[in-house]
Chain A
Amino acid sequence: MKTTTIFKTGALTLVYVGLLTCTACIPPTDDLSDTLVIGVLADIQSWNPYLAETKFSEDLLALIYPSLAVEMPDYHDHPPTFAPALATSWDLGGDGLGLTFQLRQDLIWNDGQPVTADDVVFTWEAQTSEDVGWYGAYTKDFIDSVEKIDDFTVVFRFSQVYAYRLMDANEGLILPSHIWGKIPFSDWHSTDWLPHVVGAGPFVPVGHVPQQDIVLGANPSYRLGAPATIDRVVWRIVPDQLSLMTQLLAGEFDFVNSLAPEEAQRVEADPDLQVVDIPHRGYTHICWNTTRPELADPRVRRALGMAINRQTIIDTVYRGYARPSAGPILSTMWAFDNTLEPLPYDPREASRLLSSAGWSDTDGDGTLEKDGRPMTLELLTNAENHMRQDICMLAARDLRAIGVEATPRTVEWGTFLSRLRDGDFDGSVNRWVEPTQIDLEDVWHTTPEAFESSNYGRYSNPKVDRLIEEVADVRDIDLQKELYGQIQHLIVADQPYTFLVEGRKLRAISTRVQGSIQNDATPYFNLEAWELP
Chain B
Amino acid sequence: MGTAVTLLRRLALLPLLVLLVATVTFAVVQAAPGTYADTIDNPRLTPAARTHLKALYGLDQGARSQYFHWLGALAQGDLGRSFLFKQPVADVIATALPPTILLAGTALAMDVILGVLLALISARRPGGWIDRILTILSLGVYGLPSFWLAGLAILLFSLTLGWLPASHMASVGADRWAAGARWLDLVRHLILPASILGIVGAASTARYLRASLLDVRRSHHILAARARGISESRILWTHTLRPALGPLVTLIGLSLPVLVGGSVVVETIFSWPGMGRIMWQAAVARDIPVVMGCTLVGAVAVILGSLVADLLYAWADPRVRPQ
A: which residues have CB within 8 A of B?
1-2, 4-5, 9, 12-13, 16, 20, 23-26, 28-30, 32, 35, 37, 45-46, 51-55, 58, 133, 135-138, 189-190, 192, 207, 209-213, 215, 232, 234, 236-240, 243, 246-247, 250, 252, 281-282, 412-415, 417-418, 433-435, 442, 452-454
Contacts and interface: CB of A to CB of B under 8 A. Distances in A.
A433 B42 CA distance: 9
Given A4-B233, A414-B38, A212 B53 contact: no
Interface of B: 32-35, 38-53, 56, 81, 84-88, 95-96, 110, 113-114, 117, 120-121, 124, 154, 157-159, 163-164, 166-177, 181, 184, 187-188, 191, 195, 231-233, 236, 268-271, 273, 277-278, 281, 286
Contacts of A26: 184, 188
A463 to B, nearest CB: 24
B45 A53 contact: yes
A250 B158 contact: yes
A172 to B, nearest CB: 11
Contacts of A236: 168, 172, 271
A413 B175 contact: no
Nearest to B159: A250
A55 B44 contact: yes
A246 B166 CA distance: 9
B167 A238 contact: yes
Contact of A20 (B41, B168, B191, B270): B191
B49 A135 contact: yes
B263 to A, nearest CB: 13
Given A1-B233, A239-B271, A37 B172 contact: yes
What DSSP secondary structure best describes chain B's contact surface? Answer: helix
A118 B322 CA distance: 73
A452 B47 contact: yes
Given A135-B52, A137-B52, A239-B277, A190 B177 contact: no
A234 B171 CA distance: 11
A418 to B, nearest CB: 4
A35 B177 CA distance: 15
Contacts of B50: 135
A250 B166 contact: yes
Nearest to A24: B163
Contact of A414 (B34, B51, B84, B85): B34
A434 B46 CA distance: 11
Contact of A138 (B39, B49, B84, B113): B49
Contacts of B32: 414
B47 A454 contact: yes
9 contacts: A5-B236, A24-B157, A30-B176, A136-B44, A190-B88, A234-B173, A252-B172, A414-B286, A417-B38
Contacts of A23: 184, 187-188, 191
B286 to A, nearest CB: 7
B232 A30 contact: no
Given A9-B120, A24-B163, A54-B42, A133 B187 contact: no
A210 B50 CA distance: 26
B241 to A, nearest CB: 11
Given A9-B121, A45-B86, A29 B34 contact: no
Nearest to B35: A414
B54 to A, nearest CB: 10
B34 A138 contact: no
B42 A53 contact: yes
Contacts of B188: 23-24, 26
Most chain A CB inside 10 Å of its own CB: which residue of B35, B38, B167, B268: B167
Contact of A45 (B81, B84, B110, B278): B84
A12 B44 CA distance: 58
Contacts of B268: 239-240, 243
Nearest to A454: B47
